A and B are shown apart, each in its own frame.
Chain A
Amino acid sequence: MSVVQDPFSLSGKRVLVTGASSGIGRQIAITCSQMGAQVVISGRNPERLQATAAALHGEGHIAITADLSQQEGIDQLVAVSDTLHGVVHAAGISKLVPFRLINKQHLTDIFDSNTFAPMLLTRGLLAKKRIAQNGSILFISALSSHSGALATSAYAASKSALLGAMRSLALEIAKQGMRVNCIAPGYVHTPMLDGLGQGGGNMDALFDLTPLGMGEPEDVAYASVFYLADASRWITRNYFILDGGLSTPMDIYA
């Protein structure tokens, strides 16, 4: 009997996960390690990042504290990353602000973290040939990028911007066999979402509208594993909505 390589396994792959100190990024890092990957994790908070590192399965993982809204943080991460087979951009921030109160500082903060950092980190990794042939790059966008939830103009715009960036980048690096995709989660139990609730958002009604209820970070992590694994080798320029059925009645592509 021949031994068949499991196309859904991440065994033998090295995967960089940003935003790994909490929420979705943290769980993606843990799940990737459980699926056999060696992971490089980054986050801004050293204590929480170490907590994630301690929860990783297996050996040989690397944890780097870096603020990716600063170029030095990006350069630092590029410098320590060996050849990567996958990159997951899970770092991001959110804040509810009614449109009438947005200002340049708010827009800059949100776009620095959610849009510019993942784009510039990807650019840095590609420039240093850190991403392997047939590597997979994954941006964690958000359902809000299409659905535009109340008081999320800056956040929704920053996440929609990833869609355009992903589609264009994917064309440019397809000849190296590299793939680029977005995952767009709906409402997932995370510290970020808890923060929005405390920040004045009335979230309960939205949760009630989701047929399968709220998601867990694991749900996003499992989809991420698929997008990183060879099983998805023919999938690129894809925008994958993962929302427990919430957006289907919204006609969000109209």
Chain B
Amino acid sequence: MDNIDTFIEKFITAVDFQEAVEITPDTILKDLPEWDSLAALGVIVLSDMEYGKTITGEHLKQVSTVNDLYQLLN
């Protein structure tokens, strides 16, 4: 598993933010202005391709922060 900083880099790539935004482990996903269904799908695919872990939209609804997401994939 990547460390949290590497994970955040991959997270940023997967979501493909058009407006640069600072992401920390404490960032709350749904507070991100570009967090939408395609962004969520990007994270689901990232999880599958990079970490070999299958997650669903339901899993994503249950996590709040970027660190929660990191822990879910860990």
> Residues of A with Cβ closer than 8 Å to B?
96-98, 100-101, 103, 106, 150-151, 198-202
Q: A200-B45, A200-B56 are in contact. List 18 more A-B contacts (CB 8 A).
A: A96-B45, A97-B41, A98-B14, A98-B41, A98-B42, A98-B45, A100-B13, A101-B14, A101-B42, A101-B46, A101-B49, A151-B38, A198-B56, A199-B41, A199-B56, A200-B41, A200-B44, A202-B37
Asked if B73 lies at the interface with its beta carbon under 8 angstroms from chain A, I say: no
B25: interface (CB < 8 Å): no
CB distance from A149 to the nearest CB of B (A): 12
Distance in Å: Cβ of B58 to nearest Cβ of chain A: 8
Is B8 engaged at the interface, CB distance under 8 Å to the other chain? Answer: no
Residue B40 is within 8 A (CB to CB) of chain A in the complex:
yes
> Given the complex of chains A and B, what is the CA–CA distance between A95 and B63 in angstroms?
23
On whether A150 and B56 interact (CB within 8 A), knowing A101-B14, A101-B45, the answer reads no
Contact sample, A vs B, 11 pairs, CB 8 Å cutoff: A96-B45, A97-B41, A98-B41, A98-B42, A98-B45, A100-B16, A199-B56, A200-B40, A200-B41, A200-B56, A202-B57
Residues of B at the A interface (CB closer than 8 Å) are 13-14, 16, 37-38, 40-42, 44-46, 49, 56-57, 60
Contact B37 A97 (CB under 8 A): no
Instruction: Output the nearest chain A residue to B58 by Cβ-Cβ distance.
Output: A198
Q: CA separation between A201 and B57, bound complex, in Å?
A: 8
Cα separation A200 to B15 with both chains bound (whole Å): 14
Complex Cα–Cα for A22 and B67 (A): 38
Name the residue on B nearest A101 (C-beta).
Answer: B45
- Contact of B41 with A151 in the complex, beta carbons under 8 Å: yes
Distance in angstroms from B39 CB to nearest chain A CB is 9
Q: Which residues of A contact B37 (CB under 8 A)?
A: 200, 202
